Amino acid sequence: MEITREAGLSVWRQIQQIIESEIREKLYAPGARLPTEADLAKRFQVNRHTVRRALSRLEERGLLRTEQGRGTFVQEAIIVYKVASRTRFSENLAKQHRAPNRTLLAAMDMPATTEIARALRIRRGAPIVYLLTTGEADGRRISISAHYFPKPRFDGIGDLVAETRSISSAIKRLGVAEFTRESTRVVARMPSTEDARQLKMPKNRPMLVTEGINVDANGARIEYSVSRFCSDWVQIVVEP
């Protein structure tokens, strides 16, 4: 397919259609990195602004994604992350034949802020354990999560998460055999510079944020979490 400069379809839209056709025909496989803007501009004999406009349109259509500092890639299949009464990160991904992994970035004791105290139904300033983790699917980071647990019930949970790479397993090791999701709130929010860096997503695209509260078999609140998901990769589905 060649670019024509006669009256009719604009050049950038022709480039969009050519690249889209090549994606549909698997000339660029899912996850493959496209040539640089400079290389595409040379191929089509146009300026980079024209190429950028075509790529931007393909991103809007969900066919491409841009990773800061790495380039533009063909979008893979979206991960459907189900939120229900029993929400487990690893199980969610394993059911979709994805390889799950959780990495502990930070663990510390801290006093509960007003927001955390309200969520856990404890007094403001009460001691809690804070964990910061990442969630990966097939080796790609899809989420960053902050977890808050009341002390002293969950003392040592950071070491257990580092060992098991699982929040659920760590909670079970601390004596909570089963827990359920009491509530989940889902919002869309623009990422901060740090969010965009951690999730390798554009700063001008919203991320999905979930705020969840988990309770034990007696209804006691055991965890408040705030998870940020890259919207290029994850679709959140709330089930009864």
- List pLDDT tens digits, range 115-126: 999 999 999 999
Two structure tokens written together for 199? 């999730």
Query: 144 by DSSP, 3-state: which?
Result: strand
Please give the sequence-ordered ranges of beta strands (E in DSSP) within the chain, or none if there are none: 64-67, 71-74, 79-83, 100-111, 127-137, 140-150, 179-189, 207-216, 221-229, 234-238
Other CB atoms closer than 10 Å to residue 49's CB: what's the count?
A: 10
| Alpha-helix residue ranges (DSSP H) falling in 121-224 | 157-164, 167-173, 193-199
pLDDT higher for 70 or 172? 172
- List pLDDT tens digits, range 197-232: 898 887 888 999 999 999 999 999 999 999 999 887
- List pLDDT tens digits, range 14-24: 999 999 999 88
- List pLDDT tens digits, range 30-81: 888 999 999 999 999 999 999 999 999 998 887 888 877 788 988 877 788 8
Model confidence at 168: pLDDT above 90: yes
Model confidence at 180: pLDDT above 90: yes
Within 13 Å, how many C-alpha atoms sit on residue 131's CB side? 30
Q: Give me the pLDDT at residue 164, please.
A: 94
Decide if 104 contacts 133 (C-beta within 8 A). yes
CA 1 to chain centroid, in Å, comes to 36
Mean pLDDT of the chain: 90
Q: Give me the pLDDT at residue 7, please.
A: 56
Residue that has been written with the tokens 């809690």 in this structure: 128
